[in-house]
Amino acid sequence: MAINDSETESLLRQAGKGDAVAVGRLLEKYRPKLKQMVAVRLDRRIASRLDPSDVVQDVLTDAGMNLEAYLSAPPLPFYPWLRRFAQERVIQLHRHHLFTDKRSLFREQAGGGFLPDETMGQLADVLASSQSTPSQHVIRGELCQQVRKVLDELAARDREVLVLRYLEDLSFPEIALAAGLTEGAVKMRHLRALERIRVLLGSVDGASG
């Protein structure tokens, strides 16, 4: 479990000795990252009634109550462990508010993660911007639509890897833990998905040239 940074390791040691200030700092350190994760996953119809910040506060409260057990026998590096509380909370919210709604436009991914339709649009925009050439930026809207089609054709785990990488900003080791894959498999899926997008963008560039 080498993906904890030195500050986190120090805070974990202090928290293990009963330092309440260290516990607070440890949980607060990851509040922005958790908020980003929740914002990516939360359907806009829930977000309109329940702010991601409130969801994160509930997550940190739950994690704090379970921290002693974690410190006695850590099953994962700290952030991947913490993120699981957020993932479970988001799943609960979607199932409670939207699971029976046939109009709901979200996907339950492999591993139990939800991806709202608007998140896929956001991912398409990020990928179209990062992978396209300067000459293609003038047709960004069209590129986003094309990239979205490619994303829809990907396997669920491949989409999840891209979301974790580009919208949650996780490292490959963190993605492996979150997605239940080996790091090698994550890198392969990431490379394969990007290659499909680059081929698409290359064909668009050739057609417009």
pLDDT tens digits along 117-147: 889 999 999 998 876 666 555 566 778 888 9
Query: For residue range 78-118, what is the model confidence (pLDDT) as tens digits?
Result: 999 999 999 999 988 888 777 655 444 444 454 445 688 88
According to the model, what pLDDT value does residue 102 have? 46
The domain ranges of the chain are: 6-97, 106-208
d(C-alpha 197, C-alpha 204), whole Å? 11
Furthest C-alpha separation in the chain:
65
29: confidence class by pLDDT, cuts 50, 70, 90 = very high
Max mean pLDDT among 54-58, 113-117, 128-132, 201-205 falls in: 54-58
19: confidence class by pLDDT, cuts 50, 70, 90 = very high
A 10 A CB-CB count for 43 gives 22
Three-state DSSP at 114 gives strand
Supply the Cα-derived Rg of the chain in whole angstroms: 19
Domain at 106-208: CATH architecture: Orthogonal Bundle (1.10)
What lies within 8 Å, CB to CB, of 82 at 6+ separation is 27, 30, 34, 59, 63
**pLDDT, mean over the chain:** 86
Q: Is the dihedral of CA 159, 164, 166, 171 positive or negative?
A: negative
d(C-alpha 2, C-alpha 174), whole Å? 11
- Beta strands 106-108 and 114-116: pairing type? antiparallel
According to the model, what pLDDT value does residue 96 have? 79
According to the model, what pLDDT value does residue 20 have? 97
According to the model, what pLDDT value does residue 105 have? 44
Does 64 score more than 90 pLDDT?
A: yes
d(C-alpha 102, C-alpha 137), whole Å? 36
Contact 151, 162 (CB under 8 A): yes
Domain 6-97 carries which CATH code? 1.10.1740
Is the whole-model pTM more than 0.85? no
According to the model, what pLDDT value does residue 69 have? 97
Q: At what angle do helices 6-16 and 20-29 cross, to 10 degrees?
A: 150
